[in-house]
Structure 1
Amino acid sequence: MRAARASLVAGVTAGGLLLFAGPAFAHVSVQPGTAEKGGWSTIALKVPNEKDNASTVKLELTLDPKHPLVSVMPQAVPGWDVKVEKTKLDKPVQMHGKSIDEAVSKVTWTGGKIEPGQFQQFPLSVGQLPTDADELVFKALQTYSDDDVVRWIDPSKPGGEEPEHPAPVLKLVAKGAAGGAGDHHDDAKGDKDAKSDKGDKVTATAEEKKSDGGSDTTARTLGVVGIVVGAAGIAFGVLAGRRRRDSAA
């Protein structure tokens, strides 16, 4: 019991430290942080509100011009309006048998609010990701209701200290190394995974019920034993009292 209490106190203390330390390390980031080269992926810009007296009211995301993406589709975010801007490519690219001469260069969200102490995710479906790069660097501008603009555009240097306002980065890895972060349009695989997850949940539920049933049965058994032992004790006490009275007589 003392060990359990000590663990609880330690956990609460650690949680408190993280709570107070969180805002100092919070910044605009890409979730998940990795995707497969040459594939398609669904990512999200995670935007925390770092101010106590102002709300985030605008997010501007500029894509990497060195590695243009011909397809960038934002998912609707309740309360927010989104605008997608495109620019002409110096060299058209071929995709699905078509020649594409423009790519998305900027995505802007406005109209909503991220209140103090909260964060918001802005999902995007992006592709086709480059095969000749190890990362995609985005630049994000976060505008607050007090007109303050935080520019998340600083490059991060390998092995160096993290800059004050690092630019969001999507790491690009070889096929099969992204841990399922990519979106490969494989509906059959998705259905299989969904069925597997459902089966796992059913199995877990059955095991939980079995465990609960076992615990309930054990509790009832112990209760019955306790009653029997208590009754035996009372009977023994009554019998002992009678013997003492008979001896005294």
Structure 2
Amino acid sequence: MKAINGSLKASRLAVAGVAAASAVLVLSAPAFAHVTVQPEGAAAKGGYAVVDFKVPNERDNASTTKLEVSLPTDHPLASVMPQPVPGWTAVVTKSKLDKPLTVHGKQIDEAVTKVTWTANGKGIEPGYFQKFPLSVGQLPEDADQLVFKALQTYSNNEVVRWIETQQKGQQEPDNPAPVLELSAASGDGHGAAAKDASADGSTAPAAKDTTAQADTGGSDTTARVLGIVGIVVGAAGVAYGVLAGRRRTSAS
């Protein structure tokens, strides 16, 4: 009877260990599932930059077919040019500015407020991501970051709104908006992207097909670490349960 009770307790401990591991893996999964924006090189204040909007597909039964990115209206950008992405059509939307901008001695009374990419085919299929490059400038000199709100549409008509702003001292929201961190102003005032795309209206070369399996960026590394921790916890629980069962069996 003691042996049976010991085996039951050992089984419960093993199940608890596996459950703990599963919980850690579940918690780590969303760590790399956000729509994000990162510069190619530096995004210096007062300069120009090429930034990539990285869009992962979070669904197992639907493809991402459209991405809408709203540009900040509190710091409007006079120059915004999408780089061609194979399989996608980009549409740039401009709006009148309440306060005209002065760029290179010229006044500009309108700016790009939204860029929409629509898939011509299947779009971003499950298990893949896509990068959407934009040349932007001039970046503001009086801000440390720019917030871009994004809408991600799936082939089943589901829309995920990446529009929540991070509040200081609080946890990251469930659907955070992509945030571009700005670095200190560079000496030439054009930033690292000036060689590729500048304010003279030149267009960057066509992009290579950037659709690929999820990469190994910082967030992916975090997910892997948490996953390994979960596996270790689960294995420890199983081992402890087996040892406990053997001790009780020996004692009987």
Question: Which TM-score bucket, shorter chain as reference?
Answer: 0.5 to 0.7
Alignment check: 8 A CA contact 2:35 2:178 kept: yes
Tell me the residue number matched to 2:156.
146
Instruction: Return the match for 2:89 from 81, 91, 104.
Output: 81
State the identity as a percent.
Answer: 62
Structure 2 residue identity aligned to 1:95 = V
Alignment check: 8 A CA contact 2:34 2:55 kept: yes
- Distance in 1 separating the partners of 2:30 and 2:86: 25
Instruction: Return the match for 1:122 from 128, 132, 143.
Output: 132
Q: 1:57 to 1:186 in 2, by over 3 A?
A: closer
SS where residue 183 of structure 1 aligns?
Answer: helix
Tell me the residue number matched to 2:232.
none
Instruction: Return the match for 2:101 from 82, 89, 93.
Output: 93
The alignment of Structure 1 onto Structure 2 pairs a total of residues equal to: 169
Higher helix share: 1
Instruction: Return the match for 1:48 from 56, 75, 95.
Output: 56
Between 1:76-85 and 1:33-42, the stretch displaced more is 33-42
Tell me the residue number matched to 1:169.
179
Structure 1's unaligned 5+ residue stretches are: 1-16, 188-249
SS where residue 184 of structure 1 aligns?
Answer: helix
* Structure 1 residues 130-154: Cα deviation after superposition (integer angstroms, max 9, x where no partner): 0111110000000000110000000
Q: 1:19 to 1:116 in 2, by over 3 A?
A: farther
Q: TM (normalized to structure 1)? A: 0.62
Instruction: Return the match for 2:111 from 103, 106, 115.
Output: 103
Q: Once the 2 structures are TM-superposed, how far is the Cα of residue 176 of structure 1 from its aligned partner?
A: 5.0
Alignment check: 8 A CA contact 2:39 2:49 kept: no
Instruction: Return the match for 2:36 from 29, 37, 45.
Output: 29
Structure 2's unaligned 5+ residue stretches are: 1-23, 198-252
Structure 2 residue identity aligned to 1:107 = V
- Distance in 2 separating the partners of 1:46 and 1:135: 17
Q: Once the 2 structures are TM-superposed, how far is the Cα of residue 37 of structure 1 from its aligned partner?
A: 0.6
- Distance in 2 separating the partners of 1:94 and 1:176: 20
Structure 1 runs (4+) deviating above 4 angstroms are 17-20
Structure 1 residue identity aligned to 2:71 = L
Q: 1:32 to 1:186 in 2, by over 3 A?
A: closer
Larger Rg: 1
Q: 1:173 to 1:18 in 2, by over 3 A?
A: farther
* Bigger relative CO (Cα 8 Å, ≥ 6 apart): 2
* Structure 1 residues 88-113: Cα deviation after superposition (integer angstroms, max 9, x where no partner): 11222222232211000000000240
* Structure 1 residues 19-55: Cα deviation after superposition (integer angstroms, max 9, x where no partner): 9944454100002396211010000100000000000
Q: Once the 2 structures are TM-superposed, how far is the Cα of residue 158 of structure 1 from its aligned partner?
A: 2.5
Q: TM (normalized to structure 2)? A: 0.62
